[in-house]
């Protein structure tokens, strides 16, 4: 043990002060990244061309980045901005007619060359007009009977819900690349898993789609998507339930806030003027759709009743959809007046990367390595010496220009070199925005994410692949190690995570390890361990790269 390590340890043992706890969640606000909360006021766009705004198909490319589409969208967003719209709910895949890409067996293979270009254009336009996006991944119509229209399959994608292999192909080849690119984008305020899933579920009043599934099957589909988003993104997750009466179906799938839709034919069963508190839910609820055509209530009445009844937002239906419930233009001035009168309520709060946030509002990256190694150093304990050096690198970066390079000399046949660690004492070398020596951090229930780039050759023995674990130490220098993350793919960024807790199993395959008496409220150090897999005798001498080290309160 080095003198530096011994000194750190002695100071840790003497520290007794605690970091402050984060404030309680307000149920009339949606929880955002950075520990902030907001009332979501806006409109469903919800498409320029249904299911065809992102990507290409046999009909050609008319997505958001095409010249004509981009001009229309930009003009629409300028108009919405002038009316006080803060949030736009936009359908992303719809029924799968343009994206993602499918093979002949119905498995997802990825995206075409236009998909990310289209998405980037929408984000560019949204940022230009200070509007936040809520992308809706799917629509319930993906479970309607398949049809071929001029060489394009519309509907008929129920295997995404029912078939475990197809679901996994979507997670691996579409959702994860999507989140890898946009999971930290500040213009995306939340993700919406599926629009009105009850239309594709076999329950009373639902099952509008021809290939509707059992409720439990849909919940599995939703839960897997929510879990993946939480593992890779900082934005919260919701789902567009078709009715307030069905919100109870979604309390156990991991959503960060709930959402229901209302149209006036529902008034007898679910009266609109009903307090959110009467639902007995533990998380905020927004009104995700309400009509703007041929209504008994005015726009201002809808907005005022939603707000005064304790809901956390309202999104009008709709700006662009051509149906008998959409005529936002006729209600736009009323919308603008209400938004102006409630400007202090509806303004979306934001933090820059240089803002001080503390424990109640963490930044997207507490360590980004743009200004150097930020206090990180290699472990030199006798059994963990494979990380020989750390340095700032401009060879590859996930965000910004720089990352942290861990120079590895990993030898599976040598006990002292079969693993190595890079560490930072977060009380002495604190995260971005904090200066000076800090008390231990209360990270109980927080999920730490460290993004790692593994170059070619770093995987080692493919039968016993090398991998990573996050570790934390408390003020008594007791440890928690997270689950083992195999290097399954080289030459790409992968997220490695650990949810800090003293309630996880102490031992078990891939379950990590916790010392007896470990205190998750007194964290003084975090680090990343790289090790050889299983009985591997493989060697790897070269770099791995670390970036975007962050932690946020888990849902």
pLDDT of residue 316: 98
Q: Count the helices and strands in the chain (H runs, E runs).
A: 10, 26
pLDDT of residue 509: 47
Choice between 135 and 459, residue whose per-residue pLDDT is larger: 135
* β-sheet with 237-240: strand ranges across: 237-240, 191-195, 132-139, 87-94, 40-44, 313-317, 285-289, 258-261
Buried b (16+ CB within 10 A) or exposed e, 223-252: bbbbebbbebbbbbbbbbbbbbebbebbee
Question: In which band, very low, low, confident or very high, does the pLDDT at 511 lie, cut at 50, 70 and 90?
Answer: low
Which pairing describes strands 108-110 and 101-102: parallel, antiparallel, or unpaired? antiparallel
CATH of domain 3-20+359-553: 2.60.120.260
Q: Is the pLDDT of residue 516 over 60?
A: yes
Q: Is the pLDDT of residue 226 over 80?
A: yes
Q: What is the pLDDT of residues 80-107, one digit of tens each?
A: 999 999 999 999 999 999 999 999 999 9
Beta bridge partners of 134: 89
Q: Is the pLDDT of residue 370 over 50?
A: yes
pLDDT of residue 434: 86
Q: For residues 488 and 497, what is the distance between their CA atoms, to the nearest angstrom?
A: 15
Q: Is the pLDDT of residue 487 over 80?
A: yes
Which pairing describes strands 258-261 and 147-149: parallel, antiparallel, or unpaired? unpaired
Q: How far is CA 170 from the centre of its chain?
A: 16
Choice between 117 and 361, residue whose per-residue pLDDT is larger: 117
Closest CA to 256 of 193, 339, 308: 193
Three-class DSSP category at 546: strand
Whether 277 contacts 310, CB under 8 Å: yes
Q: Is the pLDDT of residue 29 over 80?
A: yes
Whether 256 contacts 283, CB under 8 Å: yes
Q: What is the pLDDT of residues 311-326, one digit of tens each?
A: 999 999 999 999 999 9
Place of tokens 């955002």: 32
Beta bridge partners of 43: 88, 316
Place of tokens 């604190």: 430
pLDDT of residue 163: 98
Choice between 509 and 499, residue whose per-residue pLDDT is larger: 499
Question: In which band, very low, low, confident or very high, does the pLDDT at 346 lie, cut at 50, 70 and 90?
Answer: very high
Beta bridge partners of 447: 499, 552
Q: Is the pLDDT of residue 283 over 50?
A: yes
Region for residue 150 given its phi and psi (left: phi exceeds 0; alpha: psi -120 to 50; beta: otherwise): left
pLDDT of residue 555: 53
Domain assignments of the chain as residue spans, ordered by start: 3-20+359-553, 30-346
pLDDT of residue 4: 40
φ, ψ for residue 346, nearest 5 deg: -90, -10
pLDDT of residue 3: 39
Q: For residues 429 and 435, what is the distance between their CA atoms, to the nearest angstrom?
A: 8
**What would the two tokens of residue 219 be?**
């919940």
Q: How far is CA 81 from the centre of its chain?
A: 25
Fold of 30-346: TIM Barrel (3.20.20)
Question: In which band, very low, low, confident or very high, does the pLDDT at 353 lie, cut at 50, 70 and 90?
Answer: very low
Q: In Å, what is the CA distance from 226 to each residue of 26, 32, 137, 193, 539? A: 22, 16, 11, 7, 37
Whether 261 contacts 290, CB under 8 Å: yes
First to last CA, the chain: 37
Q: Exposed, middle or buried, 183 (CB in 10 Å: 0-12/13-18/19+)?
A: buried
Q: What is the pLDDT of residues 428-448, one digit of tens each?
A: 999 988 888 899 999 998 889
Residue 166: is the preceding peptide bond cis (ω within 30°)? no
Q: Exposed, middle or buried, 194 (CB in 10 Å: 0-12/13-18/19+)?
A: buried
Question: In which band, very low, low, confident or very high, does the pLDDT at 268 lie, cut at 50, 70 and 90?
Answer: very high
Tell me the average pLDDT of the chain: 89
pLDDT of residue 141: 98
What mean pLDDT is predicted for residues 362-377?
84
pLDDT of residue 359: 34
Q: For residues 551 and 379, what is the distance between their CA atoms, to the nearest angstrom?
A: 22
**What would the two tokens of residue 488 be?**
């399954």
pLDDT of residue 361: 36
**What would the two tokens of residue 426 be?**
């977060």
What mean pLDDT is predicted for residues 236-253?
97
Q: What is the pLDDT of residues 536-547, one digit of tens each?
A: 788 899 999 999
Q: For residues 518 and 466, what is the distance between their CA atoms, to the nearest angstrom?
A: 27
What mean pLDDT is predicted for residues 231-257?
95
pLDDT of residue 486: 87
Using the Cα atoms of residue 361, residue 443, residue 389 and residue 541 in order, give the sign of their dihedral: negative
Q: By mean pLDDT, which of 272-281, 285-294, 484-493, 499-508 is the weakest? A: 499-508
Three-class DSSP category at 221: helix
Using the Cα atoms of residue 78, residue 82, residue 85 and residue 87 in order, give the sign of their dihedral: positive
Whether 138 contacts 147, CB under 8 Å: no
Angle at 33 between CA 32 and CA 34, to 5 degrees: 115
pLDDT of residue 498: 87
Place of tokens 């879990």: 227
Q: For residues 203 and 191, what is the distance between their CA atoms, to the nearest angstrom?
A: 25
Q: What is the pLDDT of residues 323-337, one digit of tens each?
A: 999 999 999 999 999
Closest CA to 36 of 358, 474, 350: 350
Q: For residues 299 and 283, what is the distance between their CA atoms, to the nearest angstrom?
A: 26
């Amino acid at each position: 043990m080095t003198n530096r390590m011994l000194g750190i340890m002695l100071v840790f043992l003497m520290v007794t002060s605690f970091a402050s706890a984060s404030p309680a969640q307000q149920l009339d606000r949606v929880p955002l990244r950075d520990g902030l909360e907001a009332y979501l006021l806006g409109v469903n766009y919800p498409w320029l061309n249904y299911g065809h705004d992102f990507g290409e198909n046999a009909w050609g490319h008319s997505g958001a980045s095409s010249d004509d589409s981009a001009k229309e969208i930009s003009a629409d967003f300028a108009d919405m901005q002038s009316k006080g719209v803060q949030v736009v709910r936009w359908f992303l895949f719809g029924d799968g007619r343009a994206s993602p890409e499918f093979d002949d067996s119905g498995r997802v293979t990825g995206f075409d060359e236009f998909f990310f270009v289209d998405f980037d254009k929408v984000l560019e336009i949204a940022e230009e007009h200070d509007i936040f996006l809520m992308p809706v991944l799917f629509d319930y119509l993906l479970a309607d009977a398949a049809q071929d229209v001029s060489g394009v399959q519309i509907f008929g994608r129920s295997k995404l819900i029912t078939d475990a292999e197809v679901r996994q192909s979507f997670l691996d080849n579409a959702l994860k690349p999507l989140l890898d690119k946009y999971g930290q984008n500040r213009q995306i305020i939340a993700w919406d898993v599926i629009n009105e899933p009850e239309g594709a579920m076999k329950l009373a009043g639902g099952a509008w789609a021809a290939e509707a599934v059992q409720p439990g099957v849909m919940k599995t589909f939703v839960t897997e998507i929510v879990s993946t988003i939480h593992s890779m993104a900082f934005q919260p997750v919701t789902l567009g339930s078709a009715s307030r009466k069905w919100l109870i179906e979604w309390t156990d799938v991991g959503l960060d806030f709930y959402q229901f839709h209302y149209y006036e034919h529902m008034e007898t069963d679910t009266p609109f003027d009903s307090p959110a508190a009467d639902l007995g839910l533990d998380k905020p609820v927004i009104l995700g759709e309400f009509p703007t055509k041929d209504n008994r209530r005015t726009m201002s009445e809808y907005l005022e009743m939603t707000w005064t009844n304790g809901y956390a937002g309202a999104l009008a239906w709709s700006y662009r959809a051509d149906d008998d419930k959409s005529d936002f233009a006729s209600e736009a001035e009323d919308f603008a007046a209400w938004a102006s009168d409630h400007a202090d309520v509806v303004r979306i709060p934001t933090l820059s990367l240089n803002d001080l946030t503390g424990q109640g509002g963490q930044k997207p990256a507490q360590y980004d390595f743009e200004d150097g190694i930020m206090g990180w150093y290699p472990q030199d304990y006798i059994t963990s010496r494979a990380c020989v050096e750390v340095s700032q690198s401009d060879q590859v970066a996930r965000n910004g220009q720089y990352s942290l390079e861990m120079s590895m000399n990993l030898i599976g046949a040598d006990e002292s070199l079969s693993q190595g660690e890079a560490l930072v004492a977060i009380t002495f070398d604190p995260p971005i925005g904090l200066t000076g020596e800090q008390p231990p951090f209360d990270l109980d229930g927080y999920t730490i994410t460290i993004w790692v780039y593994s170059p070619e050759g770093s995987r080692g023995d493919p039968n016993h692949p090398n991998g990573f674990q996050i570790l934390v130490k408390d003020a008594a220098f007791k440890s928690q190690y997270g689950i083992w993350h195999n290097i399954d793919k080289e030459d790409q960024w992968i997220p490695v995570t650990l949810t800090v807790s003293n309630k996880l199993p102490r031992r078990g395959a891939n379950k990590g390890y916790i010392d007896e008496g470990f205190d998750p409220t007194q964290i003084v150090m975090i680090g990343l361990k790289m090790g050889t897999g299983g009985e591997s005798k493989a060697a790897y001498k070269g770099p791995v790269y670390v970036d975007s080290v962050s932690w946020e309160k888990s849902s």
